[in-house]
Amino acid sequence: MNRTFTLARKNKVFNLLLLLFLVCVLQAGKVMAQSPSITAVIKPLTGWYKAGDVLSFTVRFSEPVIVNTVFGVPYIDLLIGTQMRRVSYAGGSSTTDLTFTYAIAPGDQDEDGVTLGAQLELNGGAIWDVDGNNAAVALVNQNSSVVLVDAAPPSVATVTVPAPGYYKTGDNLDFKVQFDENIVSNIVTGQEAYIEVIIGAAVVRAVVAFHTINTLIFRYTVVASDKDEDGIMVGSTIVLNGATITDAAGNAAQLSLKNVGSTSGVFISEPPTVSIGGAVKLNIPWTAAITFSQTVTGFDISDLNGNNATFSNFQTSDNITFTVLVTPVADGNVSIEVPARVAFNAAGLGNTQIMLSYYYDATPPVITSVNVPPDGTYKAGDVLSFTVHFSEPVSLFRTPSRITLPVIIGTTQVDAHYVSGANTNAVTFSYTVQNGQRDLNGIALGTDLLLNGDAFTDATGNTVLTALNNVASTTRVLVNTATPGINITTGAPALVNAPFTVLLTFTEAVTGLDVTELSVSNGVASNLQTTDNISYTALITPARDGAVAISLPAGVVVNSAGISNTTSNTLTLTYDGTPPVITTPGQHLITANNVLTPNGDGKNDKWVVKNIEQYPDNEVKIFDRAGRLVYSHRNYNNDWDGKVNGNPLAEGTYYYIIIFNKGENKASGYIAIILKAN
């Protein structure tokens, strides 16, 4: 056991000596080896860098190095402007390239290029190679990149507004926005960016029109609806609306508008427009109101142009609305014109032109003619229609109209009422005939239309003159609502022995009467005659001895209004046509025919006296109703055909006397000559 212990002790001593030997050998190698050195420093690319950007620097060694950061992190001094910043070790241990970085902070600014310190600061850390040789820290061979730092965003320095004055449609309002540093032209993308401009109550957009290295020009073009008499205003900021505005370093611009010039004297004004209004009177003088869209100066009555009118009483209280009395000269077209550029606003802009035209008519309509109903007779229920023609179209004052046309029927005035024709020059009135009305001499019209508190007016408001001029004739426009009556009479005695005449007397003229319409019992009627359609005569030829009754039924004739007659009375006579018989002893009886109808039918064509041949010394005399001798013949032999000198006697009743037996005997009686008897 002791031997084993002694051997172990010997082994430990040997190992310790061997370790010391190796350390000495290694230490000697260090002294003899070369330390790593910096061969190059690579800076970021030349350009602008802004806040938040990371500047990365590469330090390249002659051989791979190991970075020990246990007791501190190496860094490089970086001068930005006047401020010293640290670029701290970020990585690369065990390689030849060590990376150092710095994040640009707000406020950093260096427009000439940043500067690195002369050497790398170990800051308690260590950098050596694999052999433990400490690296050299001199920052040599820096590349030529120029690193510019701009961590301050551009901001608006001033805003120059349009010059004071009046601007009109088509004028440009330019707003010059100048920044406190340069902005690169290709940084402004698109034309969407704008600033707001308040014109009156409207908010419009002035958009980027062009720019310089540090200035943006925003432009708005005035349109017709823009108006601002108090001075426009500008919004407080630039609205990007999808665009970007940056400096060269990419810092987004601050958009607040600062140091904006005064716009209180920047006015938007249009040429004054003008209108002509007022209650235009088409038939009398009236007051026109000439109204401008804004206050004007220089306008007076002499500036007005007029046709067929004079102007007077020109007034204004506000230099916006002017009134003038317009007095037309004569019927016809009237015009009022305000020429262009006779009135001026505060901007010196002249007004636009306007003209008002209308037709002046102070002449009232007159009635030029009146059409009446067609000639004829009108009965109850028929409508009498009248058309009143005016010199121009007329309109109703109220509906329904109260205006009437006076119509005189007989001795009574009635009213024809308005039917149609408003807004034309032909107005219709009508009246319906009533029972009991009658005028067989022709109706008449009054002298004037009756307005009854109403009126007809023309387009300009003139009330019509009511005199009824050129009324068509109404003498044949008759009214008859009565039923025709009839009375049958005769001048014959109650006892007749021959045909006789009856008189049919109507209460008024009638038509349509035919002899066959007469109702005759025990006889026939013929030879119907009239001269006035009121009194008719007819020949009644009894058929045989006995009563003869004559009447006219209802509904046979009509008067001028088409109204049928009533039933007539019945006229009754007694007929005794048997001739007397001569009873002289020893002599023949003589009997004379009482009817002669010389129409060639072989019946009663000759007047026959029975047994006249027994008395050849006879003498025959025929008298008419007036007692005049119309025929005389001796030795009559039944050969007379009702003619005298070859001409037929008129149809009617005649009286005969026959003298025979040497004048000792005489026979007499009546004979009826009927020319058309069947």
- The pLDDT of residue 269: 85
Q: Cα torsion at 398, 399, 402, 404 (round to 10°)? A: 110
Cβ atoms < 10 Å from Cβ of 98? 23
Q: What is the DSSP string of 142-186?
A: B----EEEE-SPPBEEEEEPPPSEEE-TT-EEEEEEEESS---GG
Mean predicted confidence (pLDDT) in 641-670: 88
Give the whole-angstrom CA distance, residue 386 versus residue 417: 10
Q: What is the DSSP string of 511-573?
A: E---GGGSEEETEEEEEEEESSSSEEEEEEEESSSEEEEEE--TTS-EETT-PBPPP---EEE
Give the whole-angstrom CA distance, residue 162 versus residue 130: 73
Confidence of residue 32 (pLDDT cuts 50, 70, 90): very low
- The pLDDT of residue 30: 45
Give the whole-angstrom CA distance, residue 136 versus residue 38: 7
Q: Cα torsion at 357, 361, 367, 369 (round to 10°)? A: -50
Does pLDDT of 1 surpass 50? no
Give the whole-angstrom CA distance, residue 196 versus residue 198: 7
Give the whole-angstrom CA distance, residue 196 versus residue 235: 5
- The pLDDT of residue 402: 93
For the stretch 149-189, pLDDT in tens is: 988 899 999 999 999 988 988 999 999 999 998 887 554 44
Alpha-carbon torsion 18, 20, 26, 29, what sign? negative
Give the whole-angstrom CA distance, residue 74 versus residue 273: 81
More confident residue, 150 or 221: 221
Q: Is 104 within 8 Å of 52 (Cβ atoms)? A: yes
For the stretch 426-484, pLDDT in tens is: 999 999 999 999 999 999 999 999 999 998 999 888 999 999 999 999 999 999 999 99
H/E element, 394? strand 383-396
More confident residue, 27 or 202: 202
Does pLDDT of 582 surpass 70? no
Cβ atoms < 10 Å from Cβ of 110? 22
Give the whole-angstrom CA distance, residue 473 versus residue 325: 49
Confidence of residue 12 (pLDDT cuts 50, 70, 90): low
Mean predicted confidence (pLDDT) in 241-253: 86
| Cα dist from 210 to 1, 185, 186, 583, whole Å | 104, 9, 12, 160
- The pLDDT of residue 31: 43
Confidence of residue 28 (pLDDT cuts 50, 70, 90): very low
User: Model's pTM, two decimal places?
Assistant: 0.46
| Residue 456: closest CA among 401, 404, 395 | 395
Does pLDDT of 44 surpass 50? yes
Q: How many residues in the chain? A: 678
> How many angstroms separate the most distant Cα atoms in the chain?
244
Does pLDDT of 579 surpass 70? no
652 phi and psi angles, rounded to 5 deg:
160, -170
- The pLDDT of residue 4: 44
Confidence of residue 545 (pLDDT cuts 50, 70, 90): confident
SS (H, E, C) 236-302: EEEECCCCCCECCCCCECECECCCECCCCCEEECCCCCEEEECCCCCCCCEEEEEEECCCCECCCHH
- The pLDDT of residue 17: 60
- The pLDDT of residue 3: 45
More confident residue, 266 or 9: 266
| Residue 383: closest CA among 508, 479, 510 | 479
Q: Is 364 within 8 Å of 331 (Cβ atoms)? A: no
Give the whole-angstrom CA distance, residue 539 versus residue 543: 13
Does pLDDT of 580 surpass 60? no
Q: Is 458 within 8 Å of 282 (Cβ atoms)? A: no
- The pLDDT of residue 418: 96
SS (H, E, C) 116-144: EEEEEECCCCEEECCCCCECCCECCCECC
Pairing assessment for the beta strands 194-199 and 233-239 based on DSSP bridges: antiparallel
Mean predicted confidence (pLDDT) in 42-56: 94
Angle, CA of 568, 572 and 574, to the nearest 5°: 165
Confidence of residue 587 (pLDDT cuts 50, 70, 90): low
Q: Of 60-69, 110-119, 590-599, which range is least confident?
A: 590-599
* The pair of three-digit structure tokens given for residue 676, joined into one six-digit string: 């058309």
Count CA within 13 A, CB hemisphere, residue 111.
5
H/E element, 653? strand 652-660
For the stretch 288-328, pLDDT in tens is: 999 999 899 999 999 999 999 999 999 999 999 999 999 99
517 phi and psi angles, rounded to 5 deg:
-75, -20
Give the whole-angstrom CA distance, residue 234 versus residue 223: 17
Mean predicted confidence (pLDDT) in 387-400: 92
For the stretch 295-304, pLDDT in tens is: 999 999 999 9
> In 353-508, which residue ranges form alpha helices assigned H by DSSP?
none
- The pLDDT of residue 11: 56
Mean predicted confidence (pLDDT) in 556-571: 93
For the stretch 178-210, pLDDT in tens is: 999 888 755 444 457 899 999 999 999 999 888
- The pLDDT of residue 583: 47
- The pLDDT of residue 340: 95
Mean predicted confidence (pLDDT) in 25-45: 75
Give the whole-angstrom CA distance, residue 580 versus residue 610: 12
> Rg of the Cα trace of the chain?
71
- The pLDDT of residue 8: 47
Q: Of 3-12, 60-69, 567-576, which range is least confident?
A: 3-12
Give the whole-angstrom CA distance, residue 203 versus residue 167: 17
More confident residue, 357 or 270: 357
Q: Is 235 within 8 Å of 241 (Cβ atoms)? A: no
What is the strand order of the sheet 571-575 is part of?
495-496, 571-575, 546-551, 519-521
Alpha-carbon torsion 245, 247, 253, 257, what sign? negative
